[in-house]
Amino acid sequence: MLINSIPQRTIRESGTEPVRVVVLDQRNLPHKIEYVELQTFEDICNAINDMIVRGAPLIGVCAAYGLYLAAFSLKDLGLDSFQTKLKEFTDKLIATRPTAINLRNAISKAIEFIGHFNSTEEEVHASLKYARNLYENEIDCSRKIGEYGVKLIEDIYQNKKSTVNILTHCNAGWLATIDYGTATAPIYLAMERGIPLHVWVDETRPRNQGAKLTAWELMENGVPCTLIPDNAGGHLMQHGLVDLCLVGSDRTTRTGDVANKIGTYLKALAAKDNSVPFYVALPCSSFDWSLLDGINEIQIEQRNPEEVLYVDGLADGKIQTVLVPPLGCNAANYGFDVTPARLVTGLITEHGIFKPEEKELNKLREIINIKG
């Protein structure tokens, strides 16, 4: 998607032996557009942990490159030591962001993919191939999510014959993926097709991904949008000002419970109470097929309370951080919540739109050929 009218992606390769990655540094957006080169496995872990990169699909791809860089650094070891050490690296990588399942899915599939070779050289090569495949696949998934999801927007427009108002939470845009986004993919396609639409953007405290990232990427790509405080959605829905809620997911169970950025659950409750359709857009890499009960089984990341206590933004031409509550105030920082399947209208995936029910999702599992 576009930054300053130039097509960009969140991550790209640079150099050889080893291949490094250059990522768009999301910490100071929208006020500073900077790219960072990640040269080592440790750089990748820090980038995920510090949210230089964030958003479940992007974290997954970044982690796959991290695994490659780890494998490359171990290439001179014997095969047994290589595999033991690689396991230590993967444990470290998985611990960086515990809720987004894409990270774990990417690592376990990469390990499976590279595990059939008889030399470290071949395994290193396979780990890079895996990262590249995942990168291309995530772009393809986003595009297909867009193609399925845009039909919902088209239908609303056909009925309403006026601007379609969509509410989104956090950033499930192209910045959270490689391109197009998940929740934003149908929105970008609807724009391409000339459907008049407008997006309500939740600011998404405490990290303000809505204010800093979603509002910015929509504006850069010419999508009309309005920033709202996190608490405004219910009021807008009561007054008929939201036609559709579209959010992303960091992990979704086989029964259709959806973990997403903290506050998503409250939007889903308000949507249910006001008969507003509530859709979740996600690639299959965001499913955790091992889980049945999202509320009790999904690990919710708890982040540094300072993210709640302090806010940052542009002042006097510089990015500055200020303390909001009284000095010494306690704060809790739960990163995600779980929206139970009963509040979700449908799951928009790269294979179509599915009801959030185990029986329906089994059909999706058959399509992607996952057993167990």
Label the pairing between strands 346-349 and 278-281. parallel
Sole window of 5-13, 48-56, 291-299, 326-334 interacting with ligand MRU (rule: CB under 6 A): 48-56
How many positions of this chain bind ligand MRU (CB under 6 A)? Answer: 18
Tell me if 217 contacts ligand MRU by CB under 6 A: no
Catalytic-role residue among 179, 202, 230, 250: 250
Tell me if 337 contacts ligand MRU by CB under 6 A: no
Per the structure block, which two tokens stand in for 87? 């396991």
CB atoms within 10 A of CB 353: 17
Q: Which is nearer to ligand MRU, 254 or 303 (CB)?
A: 303
Active site residue 250: yes
Per the structure block, which two tokens stand in for 372? 């167990």
Query: Of residues 20, 212, 251, 261, which one binds ligand MRU by CB under 6 A?
Result: 261
Cα–Cα distance between 62 and 135 in angstroms, integer? 9
* Side-chain-side CA neighbours of residue 133 (13 Å): 13
Tell me if 209 contacts ligand MRU by CB under 6 A: yes
> What is the DSSP code (8-state) at residue 34?
-
Cα–Cα distance between 36 and 194 in angstroms, integer? 35
Q: Which is nearer to ligand MRU, 63 or 176 (CB)?
A: 176
Tell me if 294 contacts ligand MRU by CB under 6 A: no
CB atoms within 10 A of CB 372: 6
Cα–Cα distance between 331 and 329 in angstroms, integer? 7
Query: Of residues 149, 206, 248, 294, which one binds ligand MRU by CB under 6 A?
Result: 248
Tell me if 214 contacts ligand MRU by CB under 6 A: no
**Binding characters for ligand MRU, 306-335, by CB under 6 A (x = yes):** -----------------------------x
Tell me if 10 contacts ligand MRU by CB under 6 A: no
Cβ-count burial 114-147 (b if 16+ within 10 Å, e if not): beeeeebeebbbbbbebbbebbebbbebbebbbe
Q: Which is nearer to ligand MRU, 86 or 215 (CB)?
A: 215
Residues of this chain that bind ligand MRU (CB under 6 A): 54-57, 170-172, 176-177, 181-182, 209, 248-250, 260-261, 335
Q: Which residues are catalytic?
A: 250
